[in-house]
Structure 1
Amino acid sequence: MRKTLLSFLLLLSTIIQLSAQNKPNAIATKTAGLQKFAGYFPFYWDEATGKILLEIDKLDKQFLYVSSLPAGLGSNDIGLDRGQLGGTHVVYFQKVGPKVLLIEPNQGYRAMNGNPAEEQAVAQSFAQSTLWGFKVEATDGKTVLVDATDFLLRDAHDVVGSIKRARQGSYRLDASRSAFYLPRTKNFPQNTEFEASLTFVGGDDAGNLVREVAPSTEALTLRQHHSFIQLPDTNYTPRAMDPRAGYFGIEYMDYSTPIDESIVKRYIARHRLQKKNPGAAVSEAVKPIVYYVDHAAPEPIRSALLDGARWWAQAFEAAGYKDAFKVEILPVDADPMDVRYNVIQWVHRSTRGWSYGASVTDPRTGEILKGHVSLGSLRVRQDYLIAEGLLAPYEEGRPANPEMMKMALARLRQLSAHELGHTLGIMHNYAASVSNRASVMDYPHPTVKLTSEGKIDLSDAYAVGMGDWDKLAVTYGYQDFAKGVNEKQALDQLLRTGHQRGLQFISDRDARSPGGAHPQAHLWDNGANASDELRHVLNVREKALQQFGLNNIKPGVPMAMLEDVLVPIYNYHRYQVESVAKVVGGVNYTYASKGDGQLVTQKVPEAEQQKALEALLETLQPKVLTLPENIIALIPPRPAGWSPTRELFDKRTGLTFDPLAAAEASADFTLSFLFHPERAARLVELKARGSKLGLEEVMDQILEATWKAKQQDGLQGQTQFLTQQLVLTHLLALSQNDNAAYSVRAMATLKVKELEKHLKKLSKSNDDAVKANALLALNRLDQPSNAKPQLHKDLPPGAPIGSLEVLSCE
């Protein structure tokens, strides 16, 4: 009886509650006395309870939901940066009884022929996502009121997961220390914005990266932002993606596609831009694209960012637009997270790191609704440091060389243009450096020249303005064709013409791999011929080291800080080394389409491969690897209060500077590319197809240049010994690598056996140092599985040069 009574009372309570919810003016009654924010989705702030009540007057109508991180952690390695965008979701609210569900339909699988039955079949075949469930607080007709507090105060950006994945601690969200951030909780006619200050607690196992940036590891307070955004109208026309054009985009499977056509549909990401007069060669835009530079960026940095970003106007002019692209300063009262603003943000971290360009993109069509650039503030200081190392500018009694600041600001202009390019939809183009720096979408190494007097010249360190590829890419993505023009044919002809002009496009996957095959695509390289440029870079490095000394740091700076300046100069050739390595066992290719006349694949000529190998072997010579005595003697251990950083050379000598560890890391770097299992497999394959330069020949030349070279004396001799041991390490590791091709492991095993005979001869040498080195090598042959190249001292961090390309970053 008691159980029946309780059930009755519960039912009665529910009926009364629903009755109260559905009374006329129930929402007005519920929200009486609360602060109302009118706009896209009206909402109410309850000061007494700290809650936000959301008024939903658009049930079952799709909109965009975007989360972001307006106030970050400040650690590049963890990656929770100020201004970081989260995902973009097409969602809708659906009322089911006393609940309102926030549902995200599946955009990856569609039926686009307008047949409701087919659309329903696809929708029922794949999962959708219910992102949240809200309790109805009041109802007026088709409008409902829900408590959105828990939804908006949750960890939508997955801060807890990001810290955990970085192995920096186990944190949890503390609701008692979290609240809404009202200064940036606003409403507008087409978008509703919420912001919350969230505190994450724990910290018992906080890692060093967290300790570096947090005032207390016990509590980390960041801000997260939520945007509800009205979907754009249906007047936007998607543009088909072409692999030769270099655009990001969207893709989905359309199950209503005829069987004889591709079921996968791909469209580029781009802003909406239309000519007022599509038939005119030059026309103003119906609505220009406008970007805003963060007013927090100081001068002269702000002007450099403005200048670089404005370069894109040149590309839109080349596409036939007048005043269609503009860059201004962000108004002081504007919120950078507001979807109405395309922004270039100035982001601070505790260490140098990546900059990147992201966007809010309509997942249905690929239309970019907001471009969002994040530029790391410490990068300009790294460029300045490189210039200090190259110029040795602090001669007593003379002012600092202004070329350092010019070079650093020139890089900032290029960086601003580069990252903004990503937010226009454009990918990296790593083949641009071989075509007269044809694109800002490459990663540029400073172009440093030597004058006829042998002086270092930084006047052309970075290119200025749009390259020819950039103009072609913008024309492909944004050209507005007149009526009657066959768009597909016109775009195809545009790309064919670009190819005929020698413009190339190769992007990330092909350029980033250390075992990569493309001889003309790499990050941070220069020059039409990689091998020639490596020799030039080595000459610049040699000149910089010859003049390296007291003039590389300011008066009053601790002498130990010379090591900071030395690192990027000693390793100045590192990126060109990787570029040249791709020529060895290289295969040239393009993203060719059937019938377009582009190169499909072609082996790199043997003469070019041999030239590249010889240039790489030069980087293993003791005279290149060994630092001179006058530099070594100038660098003491760090003084108290100046802690060592990861930017310095690793050491085996304790606190004192270790020139041999620097040499070891540099030599290991070159060898890691030459012995890469993918490169080794291609060398075997290319020789089987008729090439005279195969894996055997490459290994023989490496052994001749190291183990069989004339033995040097002094520090160069010690450098030679460690290089020889590194070669053995890589040979043994390759012979034991289960991921390497059998033919590669077989050849490595053969060369190990041949080297063993040579080592036995060296073990009988009258020179104790030579004898000891050979005996150690023979000892190591007994335990080949212990040979692990990654155990050797690593190079200090390199990329990004000038400061960790995500949506897109550099």
Structure 2
Amino acid sequence: MNRLTRSLKFLVLSIVGVCLAVLLALGGTWSHQTVAYAQADDVVTETDDAVGALLDFAELTQNLEKQEGLLTVYSNVDRGEAYLALTPRQFNRNFLLSATLESGLGEAGLFRGWPINDFVMQFRAMPGDRVQVAVPNTYLRNTGGESWQQRLQETSFSDSIIFVVDVVSIDPSTQAKLIDLSTLLMERDLANLTEGLGWALSNYSRNPELSQLESLQMFPENLEVGTVVGFVGGGATDPLAALFSFSLDGIPDSRGFALQVRYSLSALPVNNSYQPRQADERVGYFTTAFRAPQQVRRADPFVRYINRWHLEKQDPQAEMSPPQEPIVFWIENTTPPEYREAIRQGILVWNEAFAAAGFQNAIEARQMPNNATWDPSDVRYNVVRWSDSLSNWAIGFGPSRVNPLTGQILDADVILDANVIRYLRQLYQGRGLDAPNGSEFYLQLCGQRSQTWYLQWLAMQQAGEAGLEMTRNLEGWPTEGSNQRLTDDHCAGYLNAQHNAFGALALSTLSGADFLSEQLDAFIQQYLVALTAHEVGHTLGLRHNFAGSLLLAPEDLNDRELTTAQGLVSSVMDYFPPNVAPPGTEQGEYFPSRLGPYDLWAIEYGYREAPPSPLGRAEQQMLSRILSRSTEPALAYATDEDIFDFIDPESSAWDLSSDPMQYSLWQLDNAQAVWDRLNRLSVNPGEGYGSLRRRVDLVFNYFFSNALTLTDYVGGQRFRRLNPWENRDSTPFEPIAADKQRAALTALSEEVFAADAFDFSSQLINQLAPDRWRHWGVRLTSFPLDYPIYEQVLEVQSVTLSQLFLADRLARVRDLEFRTDAEDVLTLSELYGSMYQSIWSEVMNSDGNPPEISSLRRGLQRHHLNILSNLVLRRTFWDALNAQSFNEFMATLGTIGAPEDARVLARYQLRQMQDDISDALSRDGDSMAITTRAHLEDVRDRIARVLDAPLLGL
């Protein structure tokens, strides 16, 4: 599939998704409405029919096993029978239902150990021996306590009633009502697996006949039910469904499969002395939020609690004390023994932060015995689980389950994918990453920000916030909300694999035998420690901090004495690439080996205890003292939504050092150095030339990622979360200095846009043959069979150039004069002039020799011309649909909505370009190469047509 076809398919998918989002925003799609009506009709039918006579309790339970604990259950698992007995005091009580994948498919997001859904539910008695299953509305609460306020809230907002079930029998001794638990789980889909597993099951439906109970255990605090859920389908006959469908590579027959699903039902803590802690946007915690509409005197109706564990000191008066109950993480017994110590270190590293908060040994790491009788999915245990998959981008995941009333974390697991090590081992053996199936598609989603930015912008224009959420989910961008925690906590992914792949490739290529023979194990162990620490940080309540890499100056990154004492980053909650030393510099730590200052400070805010005081004043004073340090550079905080529009070049993922520009320039040098060393000898025994082709692709991806970092400096602004009453001398936004922006433009001109920026030997290009295997689990490269070097280079150059001329960026550059009191400001005219000088240098050549413009330069110049023409003509989205290439599509869509000053300057520059080209043709036309002359004549004629064309919107 060629690039234009892939891009158009991606665009079609996006448009269809936007349309679906619009329909959802207007009230739901036809299929959703049909389901809703079917459920409503089903309820009415059950209500109209006379409820059957209750079964005799003794007769019903005589051959069933009785288990007592949190609740009482009667079951015969072999026959698939299970009845839940609910006493009067257990109705209207809050329970937390959790569903976890105990087995998976190793792809499509269906991974062993991954959470599916969790929510608070209640059983509510109804007349006529029926029971409602309800989800109470925790989003709105009456904090005033007055009866009239409660009545107002109850009649203004609704809970969710999801099922009504019949009582099958009543225990005459306790008056407990028995309901059919197996039907509720296996047929009614209590945990909403269909939505929880999402698009992965778009072609499949649950089959109750293939589903069964496997185990049932009742404990004092929880009920654990193991099930097997069968799915059938596999073929999308509807055209719309077929558009979104995909095949599962890891199952032998696409018509069906089974998943083991673990259900856990536990009671929410009540009156357990846990005290919620108020959230503050300057420190990054996941939050539990609700509206208190009766608090009319509050400007903000939301109350926000941080998510954290319940820790209390054994000795409340001591400055340092062990907790009454430590947070215990078990290392699953499926984890390879050689990696358990690194994982243990990644867990225990957080004790340094808790010590700063006054807790001694707050976290324990224990090894799960090989003969353990408990299951890792049991909510009583927090487990670091070792999973396996076919995916190259499922790296790590750190979800937790939280009391939605208080923010107390109740249970947490970390999932590490076995591919974490497999890929690093492959990199050692093969010095490159075997790209996953559809890797180019994942690159478009994850790496090429311009595409996702366009889709998000388009969705916002067409469908408001509903469309924005649709495209965020499509991209895997973290979102907020009680049902989005899986997305919120999902870490690393495809870009993680890409950056770590390049790190191992660069180290093994540039460092020679030292890395291959001595440093590989250290590389793997350091990565596992850092990855585990990152995911455990999520389970402690912490969000990402993409300002966490700004701790050290670039020249200090490889100072081992400094990084082991102070840390490589200020927060392990950042996404950081391997620390690859620039050529000629001795290599330091590859990954952080300890927490940074921000991590210690954030844990102190979340977990330090305050002495009891009236109205919690002591805690408020303590938290204010902690937050007063938030402006310290080492405590800078920027999370997912802060980097969404790439406004701050110094708060982003996959960078390092306090000067990301310098770091990116080093990495561009590293990429070029790796390219120079790749050849036939890079292919190890047992590999084919396809591995060499993938390594070249990998370096292109890495080079492109670092080039985009440079574009963010143009029109960039630093953003910090500040309290206006505590930081009166600072502002949240601070424009990047003009000389720094100019340095970025100069670097792009020299490293990306220059005529000699990419220089590949013909021998290397002719060696880049793809693998020719054709079977499940691989994708045959059929087009283009030869390596598309022209398209690869031009795509890096053109997308980078399009990023510089994004309508949003042009507006920011225009506005810089309003954002700074400095006299030195980068202007739109300077941006335009700088790019013109860089891209059209041949035309302005005055050394007396006729210009020679290579094919790559001609492609880049045409792209620049397209951008300026689109600005002048005010092209629209519908014009973008007529694009003849992906680069043309990018050039059109990115300029939509550009400010009028940008259009006027584009027109001025086209006239200047027309004059310069005319001068060059008249001066050197007869001596030019035919391709150069033809190119310049075509450009001159196209400019004339653009300047004479009527403007849209007038």
Does TM, scored on the shorter chain, surpass 0.5? yes
8 Å CA contact retained: 2:77, 2:214: no
Q: Which residue of 2 aligns with 1:583?
A: 713
Of 525, 530, 542 in structure 2, the residue corresponding to residue 409 of structure 1 is 525
Of 138, 160, 172 in structure 1, the residue corresponding to residue 205 of structure 2 is 172
Q: How far 1:685 sits from its partner (Å)?
A: 1.4
Q: Does 1:702 align with 2:823?
A: no
Of 365, 376, 399 in structure 1, the residue corresponding to residue 406 of structure 2 is 365
Q: Which residue of 1 aligns with 2:621?
A: 489
Structure 2 SS opposite 1:270: coil
- What is the letter of the counterpart of residue 429 of structure 1? N
Q: Which residue of 2 aligns with 1:547?
A: 677
User: Distance between the aligned counterparts of 1:505 and 1:588, measured in 2?
Assistant: 12
Spell out the pairing of 1:280-359 with structure 2 (5 A cutoff): 280-331=318-369, 332-354=372-394, 355-359=396-400
- What is the letter of the counterpart of residue 356 of structure 2? A
8 Å CA contact retained: 1:160, 1:170: no
User: Distance between the aligned counterparts of 1:460 and 1:729, measured in 2?
Assistant: 45
Q: How far 1:405 sits from its partner (Å)?
A: 3.5
- What is the letter of the counterpart of residue 505 of structure 1? Y
Q: Which has the higher helix share?
A: 2
8 Å CA contact retained: 2:570, 2:634: no
- What is the letter of the counterpart of residue 70 of structure 1? E
Spell out the pairing of 1:615-634 with structure 2 (5 A cutoff): 615-617=747-749, 618-634=751-767
- Taking only the aligned residue pairs, the percentage that are identical comes to 25
Q: 1:157 to 1:553 in 2, by over 3 A?
A: farther
User: Distance between the aligned counterparts of 1:730 and 1:716, measured in 2?
Assistant: 20
Q: Does 1:430 align with 2:546?
A: yes
Of 620, 626, 632 in structure 2, the residue corresponding to residue 500 of structure 1 is 632
Q: Does 1:421 align with 2:537?
A: yes
User: Distance between the aligned counterparts of 1:759 and 1:214, measured in 2?
Assistant: 60
User: Distance between the aligned counterparts of 2:282 and 2:803, measured in 1?
Assistant: 28
Q: Which residue of 2 aligns with 1:181?
A: 214
Structure 2 SS opposite 1:531: helix
8 Å CA contact retained: 1:134, 1:146: yes
8 Å CA contact retained: 2:66, 2:72: yes
Q: Which residue of 2 aligns with 1:450?
A: 582
Q: Which residue of 2 aligns with 1:210?
A: 247
Structure 2 SS opposite 1:497: coil
Q: 1:427 to 1:398 in 2, by over 3 A?
A: closer
- What is the letter of the counterpart of residue 592 of structure 1? L
Q: Which residue of 1 aligns with 2:267?
A: 230
Q: 1:90 to 1:749 in 2, by over 3 A?
A: farther
User: Distance between the aligned counterparts of 1:330 and 1:210, measured in 2?
Assistant: 36
Q: 1:675 to 1:651 in 2, by over 3 A?
A: farther
User: Distance between the aligned counterparts of 2:828 and 2:421, measured in 1?
Assistant: 42
8 Å CA contact retained: 1:315, 1:474: yes
Structure 2 SS opposite 1:625: coil
> After superposition, what is the alpha-carbon deviation per residue over 1:535-557, rounded to whole angstroms, capped at 9, x for unaligned?
22222223222322345342232
Structure 1 gaps of 5+ residues are 1-9, 785-810
8 Å CA contact retained: 1:110, 1:255: yes
Q: Which residue of 1 aligns with 2:657?
A: 527
Structure 2 SS opposite 1:71: coil
Q: How many residues align?
A: 755
8 Å CA contact retained: 1:381, 1:408: no
8 Å CA contact retained: 2:550, 2:650: yes
- What is the letter of the counterpart of residue 218 of structure 2? N
Structure 2 SS opposite 1:228: strand
* Greater Cα shift, 309-318 or 437-446: 309-318
8 Å CA contact retained: 2:842, 2:852: no
Of 53, 57, 69 in structure 1, the residue corresponding to residue 83 of structure 2 is 53
User: Distance between the aligned counterparts of 1:439 and 1:770, measured in 2?
Assistant: 52
Q: 1:772 to 1:82 in 2, by over 3 A?
A: farther
Structure 1 SS opposite 2:342: helix
8 Å CA contact retained: 2:117, 2:193: no
User: Distance between the aligned counterparts of 1:442 and 1:395, measured in 2?
Assistant: 26
Q: Which residue of 1 aligns with 2:811?
A: 681
Of 848, 858, 875 in structure 2, the residue corresponding to residue 721 of structure 1 is 858
> After superposition, what is the alpha-carbon deviation per residue over 1:283-315, rounded to whole angstroms, capped at 9, x for unaligned?
111111111223222243333222222211111
Q: 1:745 to 1:143 in 2, by over 3 A?
A: farther
Structure 2 SS opposite 1:213: coil
Q: How far 1:751 sits from its partner (Å)?
A: 3.9
Q: Which residue of 1 aligns with 2:881?
A: none
- What is the letter of the counterpart of residue 529 of structure 2? R
* Greater Cα shift, 105-114 or 694-703: 694-703
User: Distance between the aligned counterparts of 1:69 and 1:397, measured in 2?
Assistant: 43
Structure 2 gaps of 5+ residues are 1-45, 237-241, 433-501, 553-568, 876-894, 947-954
- What is the letter of the counterpart of residue 535 of structure 2? E
8 Å CA contact retained: 1:37, 1:187: yes
- What is the letter of the counterpart of residue 84 of structure 2? L
Q: Which residue of 1 aligns with 2:310?
A: 272
User: Distance between the aligned counterparts of 2:828 and 2:190, measured in 1?
Assistant: 51
- What is the letter of the counterpart of residue 319 of structure 2? A
User: Distance between the aligned counterparts of 2:129 and 2:251, measured in 1?
Assistant: 43
Q: 1:407 to 1:117 in 2, by over 3 A?
A: same
User: Distance between the aligned counterparts of 2:618 and 2:533, measured in 1?
Assistant: 31
Q: 1:189 to 1:643 in 2, by over 3 A?
A: closer
Q: Which residue of 1 aligns with 2:454?
A: none
Q: How far 1:364 sits from its partner (Å)?
A: 0.3
Q: How far 1:688 sits from its partner (Å)?
A: 5.7
Q: Which residue of 1 aligns with 2:929?
A: 767
Spell out the pairing of 1:223-262 with structure 2 (5 A cutoff): 223-234=260-271, 235-257=273-295, 259-260=297-298, 262=300
Structure 2 SS opposite 1:412: helix
Q: Does 1:142 align with 2:175?
A: yes
Give RMSD over aligned pairs: 3.3
Q: How far 1:63 sits from its partner (Å)?
A: 1.5
> After superposition, what is the alpha-carbon deviation per residue over 1:715-763, rounded to whole angstroms, capped at 9, x for unaligned?
9933322222333344445542444444444444554554455556677
Structure 1 SS opposite 2:741: helix
Q: 1:763 to 1:103 in 2, by over 3 A?
A: farther
User: Distance between the aligned counterparts of 1:301 and 1:502, measured in 2?
Assistant: 31
Q: How far 1:382 sits from its partner (Å)?
A: 4.3
User: Distance between the aligned counterparts of 1:511 and 1:445, measured in 2?
Assistant: 17
- What is the letter of the counterpart of residue 153 of structure 2? V
Q: How far 1:368 sits from its partner (Å)?
A: 0.6
Q: 1:403 to 1:313 in 2, by over 3 A?
A: same
Of 467, 482, 495 in structure 1, the residue corresponding to residue 596 of structure 2 is 467
Structure 1 SS opposite 2:835: helix
